[in-house]
């Protein structure tokens, strides 16, 4: 605002000098041109300062977004790794039951005592609030690295939502199977143990044990692949922060 006042002041002086009849026309023209020169310089300095200030602000936004996104991805990656440790016993249970059925040596105590694994879930979840906030404000355009920008967009708009939907479908379908063929038919004692071993002669139960074994293993494999994709993106973000922001 102060710069604009000064520019208006010089413009006023330029006009006054031009119409000042007490001075000769050469002096008037010289004074007028001098004031115009000052105005041009002042305008350019003001524009440069505003541009510099805006770029500085944009770089700060970009840096904060990349740092925040990296931190968000680290949390998602940690959750996926925790899922692997948490859900591996479920896969081991399905594998063991399937082997026992095929080899006709059913360990009823093991199958029934660990039947709670049939109900264990681990839905994929993530926080996309930072991404959506920057996206809605138009700040994603500030990321100068197009490849990095596209990778972040892919992760948050394709890969994560697809995984979230897949988990919901897998676990909902699995719950329906359990409710229909096991939960509503299996004997349950006072301690809460469900006697699944008594239902393994049912072809539908056998098929679902086989089917779920492969579906859940594929889910595990896909989540491991997601960890690698996230690792790669975090490495790209780290490289960008170091290269452009020395961070």
pLDDT single digits (tens) 220-243? 999 999 999 999 999 999 999 999
Instruction: Classify burial at 220, counting beta carbons within 10 Å of its beta carbon; exposed 0-12, middle 13-18, buried 19 or more.
Output: middle
Is pLDDT above 70 for 26? no
Model pLDDT, residue 12: 59
Task: With cut-offs at 50, 70 and 90, classify the pLDDT of residue 110.
Answer: very high
Q: What is the mean pLDDT of residues 41-60?
A: 70
Higher pLDDT, 60 or 7: 60
Tell me the average pLDDT across 113-128.
93
Q: What are phi and psi of 156, to 5 degrees?
A: -85, -25
Q: Which of 6 and 142 is assigned the larger pLDDT?
A: 142
Q: Which residues contact 179 (CB under 8 A, 6 or more apart)?
A: none
Residues 123-182: tens digit of each pLDDT: 999 999 999 998 888 888 888 899 999 999 999 999 999 999 999 999 999 999 888 888
188 in helix, strand or coil?
strand
Give the residue among 85, 81, 106 at the shortest CA–CA distance from 209: 106
188: phi then psi, degrees, rounded to nearest 5 = -125, 125
Cα 240 to Cα 148: distance, rounded to the nearest angstrom: 9
* Beta pairing partners, 77: none
Per-residue pLDDT, 234: 97
pLDDT of residue 34: 66
**3-state DSSP call for residue 194?**
strand
**Cβ atoms 173, 121 nearer than 8 A:** no
User: Scanning the structure block, which residue is given the tokens 């100068």?
Assistant: 144
Nearest Cα to 247, choosing from 63, 39, 55, 11? 63
Residues 6+ apart with CB under 8 A from 244: 144
Pick from 136, 133, 140, 122: which is nearest to 222 by CA?
Answer: 122
């Amino acid at each position: 605002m102060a710069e604009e006042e000064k520019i208006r002041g010089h413009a006023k002086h330029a006009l006054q000098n031009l119409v000042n009849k007490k001075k000769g026309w050469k002096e008037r023209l010289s004074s007028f041109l001098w004031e115009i020169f000052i105005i041009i310089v002042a305008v350019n300095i003001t524009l440069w300062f505003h541009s510099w200030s805006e770029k500085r602000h944009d770089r700060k936004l970009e840096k904060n977004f990349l740092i925040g996104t990296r931190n968000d991805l680290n949390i998602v990656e940690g959750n996926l790794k925790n899922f692997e440790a948490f859900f591996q016993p479920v896969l081991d249970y399905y594998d063991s039951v399937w082997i026992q059925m095929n080899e006709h040596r059913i360990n009823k105590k093991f199958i029934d005592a660990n039947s709670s694994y049939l109900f264990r879930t681990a839905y994929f979840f993530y926080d996309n609030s930072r991404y959506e906030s920057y996206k809605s404000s138009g700040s994603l355009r500030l990321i100068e690295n197009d490849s990095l920008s596209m990778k972040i967009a892919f992760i948050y708009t394709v890969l994560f939502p697809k995984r979230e939907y897949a988990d919901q479908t897998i676990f909902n379908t699995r719950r329906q199977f359990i409710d229909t063929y096991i939960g509503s038919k299996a004997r349950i004692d006072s301690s809460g143990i469900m006697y699944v071993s008594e239902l393994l002669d049912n072809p539908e139960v056998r098929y679902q044990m086989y089917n779920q074994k492969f579906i859940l293993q594929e889910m595990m494999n896909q989540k491991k692949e997601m960890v690698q994709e996230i690792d790669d993106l975090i490495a790209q973000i780290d490289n960008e922060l170091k290269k452009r922001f020395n961070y």
